[in-house]
Amino acid sequence: MIRFDNVSKVYARGAKPALDDVSVEIERGDFVFLVGSSGSGKSTFLKLILREERPTTGDVYVAGRHLNRLSSWRVPQLRREIGAVFQDFRLLPNKTVYQNVAFALQVIGKKRHVINSAVPEILDLVGLGGKEKRLPHELSGGEQQRVAIARAFVNHPPILLCDEPTGNLDPGTSIGIMRLLDRINRTGTTVLMATHDDDIVDQMRKRVIELRGGEMVRDQDRGVYGMERV
């Protein structure tokens, strides 16, 4: 589903590479944690998948596309196959829960009747049934992140990227979010989650890819957060 072949990314000429010769393959339906300290290359890794950046060398394949050769007008098609969730939720403050989720479908030109059936369904899935008319500021952090997940997944993309989705949430709420992501993963969706949250990684026992200084130092099935604790 996602494959990196000897991928390096150098932002400024002569600078230390943000990613250094990374090769990795993530299969359809995998649940993968991407761990590492700040500046280890996690964000660059996600940006390369979303084709917000291009690799300096090496090849990136996502959802059957060779991203090096993907022309820019086909990028939107790629992004429709990738849901993205962020630490800061990125909801539209003046739109209701329902409108926030519907917006994602409107702007890719979905028909009204499709939207009318898809949005309530996904809101039920993330556990927000009955809160359609709330505005984001009337929701808790965990609920806001559920809205963001609903928006990312309403189009049922085969890949879900999560960038520190629990970074702003307390541990109890985080567990709820992780259950939701796990549920989504069980529908066959590939989930790639960049995180600092060692408790969650240790509990979930999923595949762990660790980056350090741009290099991939670990790729472990059913791993835990810190190597020293293995």
Partner 1 sequence: MRLRFILAEVLNGLRRNSTMALSVVLVTFVSLTFVGAAALFQLQLGELKASWYGKVEVTIGLCPDNARSTQCAAGPVTEDQEQQIRTLLEEGAVSNLVKKVYFETKEEAFENYKKLDIQGIADLLTADQMQPSFRVKLNDPEQFQVVSDAVAGLPGVDYVQDQREIFSQLFKLLNAATLVAAALAGVMLLAAGLLITTTIRLSALSRRRETTIMRMVGSSRTLIQAPFMLEGAVAATLGALFAVGTLYAAVRYVVGDWLKSSVSWVPYVSQADVMAVAPYLVGIAVALAAAASVMTLGKYTRA
**Smallest gap, in angstroms, from Cβ of residue 199 to partner 1?**
28
Question: Based on CB atoms, which residue is closest to partner 1, 77 or 140?
Answer: 77
Residue choice 75, 135, 175, 227 for contact with partner 1 (CB under 8 A): 75
Binding mask 53-72 for partner 1 (x = CB under 8 A): -------------------x
**Interface residues for partner 1 in 130-159 (CB under 8 A)?**
151-152, 155
The rounded distance, in Å, linking the Cα atoms of 178 and 196 is 14
Question: Based on CB atoms, which residue is closest to partner 1, 147 or 216?
Answer: 147
Residue choice 3, 79, 131, 218 for contact with partner 1 (CB under 8 A): 79
**Smallest gap, in angstroms, from Cβ of residue 17 to partner 1?**
23
Question: Based on CB atoms, which residue is closest to partner 1, 97 or 201?
Answer: 97
User: How many residues sit close enough to partner 1 to count as binding (CB under 8 A)?
Assistant: 27
Q: Does residue 178 belong to the site contacting partner 1 (CB under 8 A)?
A: no
**Smallest gap, in angstroms, from Cβ of residue 207 to partner 1?**
25
Q: Does residue 80 belong to the site contacting partner 1 (CB under 8 A)?
A: yes
Question: Based on CB atoms, which residue is closest to partner 1, 22 or 115?
Answer: 115
